[in-house]
Amino acid sequence: MTKVLIEYDYSGIDRVVGIPTTGQLITFQKQMAKVQTSYKCNIAEARDHGWSWIMCTQAQWILKRGITAQVPVPVDPGPYVGDTNILNAAHKQVLKLYEEYEEHKRNTNKAIQACFDEDLFIELETDGLLLGVSPHEVYQHMWTNFILTVDKDREILHARELLKVDYDPDRIVQHYYKAINEARELLTGLRETVTDAEVMRNAYATFEKNIDLKDACREWNRGTLTTWEEMRKHFSKEIQMNKTDPAIMKRTELANAVLAQTKEDENAQRQASEVLVLQTQKIQELEARIEQQQLANSATNQVPGRIPASISTGSSNGSSAGGSSATSTVTKEEMMQMFAQFTQNNNQSEGNTGTAKKKKNKFGTEYIRNDLGNGERSKRRYPDSTNYCPSCGYDIKPTHTPGTCTNRKACHNEAATLANKMGGVTTNCHFVT
Distance CA(360)–CA(396), nearest Å, equals 18
CA–CA gap between residue 251 and residue 245 (Å, rounded): 10
Does residue number 183 form part of the binding site for Zn ion (CB under 5 A)?
no
Burial 42-71 (b: 16+ CB within 10 A, else e): eeeebbebbbbbbbbeeebbeebeebeeeb
Q: Does 56 bind Zn ion (CB under 5 A)?
A: no
> Which stretch in 89-97, 271-279, 360-368, 385-393 sits in contact with Zn ion by CB under 5 A?
385-393
Q: Which of 357, 356, 351, 337 is nearest to 399 (CA)?
A: 337
Task: Name the segment binding Zn ion (CB under 5 A); options: 272-280, 297-305, 373-381, 392-400.
Answer: 392-400
Q: Rounded distance, CA 203 to CA 198, Å?
A: 9
Q: Which residues of 93-130 are buried (b: 16+ CB within 10 A; e: fewer)?
A: eebbbbbbbebbbbbbbbbbbebbeeebbeebeeeeeb
Name the minimum Å distance from CB 370 to Zn ion. 15
Residue 397 C-beta: closest distance to Zn ion, Å: 9
CA distances from 381 to 34, 155, 378, 402 (A): 77, 73, 9, 18
Q: Distance between CA atoms of 171 and 229, rounded to whole angstroms?
A: 20
Query: What is the DSSP secondary-structure string of 178-232?
Result: HHHHHHHHHHHHTT----HHHHHHHHHHHHHT-GGGHHHHHHHHHS---SHHHHH
Is residue 416 within the footprint of Zn ion (CB under 5 A)?
A: no
Among 61-69, 230-238, 284-292, 397-405, which window interacts with Zn ion (CB under 5 A)?
A: 397-405
In whole angstroms, what is the distance from residue 88 CA to residue 276 CA? 95
36 touches Zn ion (CB under 5 A): no
- Residue with the CB atom nearest Zn ion in the bound state: 405
Smallest gap from Cβ 334 to Zn ion, in A, equals 21
Q: To the nearest whole angstrom, how small is the minimum distance from the Cβ of residue 287 to Zn ion?
A: 25
Least Cβ distance, residue 398 to Zn ion (angstroms): 13
Measure Cα distances from 393 to 121, 377, 388, 409, 425 in Å.
Answer: 95, 12, 5, 11, 6
How far does Cα 117 stand from its chain's mean position? 39
- Residues 135, 55 contacting (CB under 8 angstroms): yes
392 is an interface residue for Zn ion by CB under 5 A = yes
Say whether residue 405 binds Zn ion (CB under 5 A): yes
Rule CB under 5 A: choose which of 41, 194, 389, 425 binds Zn ion.
Answer: 389
Answer yes or no whether residue 32 interacts with Zn ion by CB under 5 A. Answer: no
- Establish if 425 lies at the interface with Zn ion (CB under 5 A): no
Nearer to Zn ion, 36 or 391 (CB): 391
Which one, 188 or 407, has the nearer CB to Zn ion? 407
DSSP assignment letter at 20? P
Q: Helix, strand, coil: what percent of the chain each, to 5?
A: 55, 0, 45
* Residue 187 or 405 having the CB closest to Zn ion: 405
Q: Which stretch binds Zn ion (CB under 5 A): 163-171, 273-281, 398-406, 424-432?
A: 398-406
| Binding string, residues 336-375; x marks residues near Zn ion by CB under 5 A | ----------------------------------------
The span of 168-176, 316-324, 390-398, 418-426 binding Zn ion (CB under 5 A) equals 390-398
Nearest approach in angstroms of CB 364 to Zn ion is: 25
By CB under 5 A, which span of 25-33, 150-158, 382-390, 425-433 interacts with Zn ion? 382-390
**What is the nearest approach in angstroms of Zn ion to the Cβ of residue 425?**
9
Region of 127 on the Ramachandran plot (φ > 0 left; ψ -120 to 50 alpha; else beta): left
> 36, 60, 109, 391: which one contacts Zn ion (CB under 5 A)?
391
Site size toward Zn ion (CB under 5 A) is 4
231 lines the binding site for Zn ion (CB under 5 A): no
**How many CB atoms are closer than 10 A to CB 184?**
22
Binding to Zn ion by residue 186, rule CB under 5 A?
no
Nearest approach, Cβ of 353 to Zn ion (angstroms)?
A: 21
Residues binding Zn ion (CB under 5 A): 389, 391-392, 405
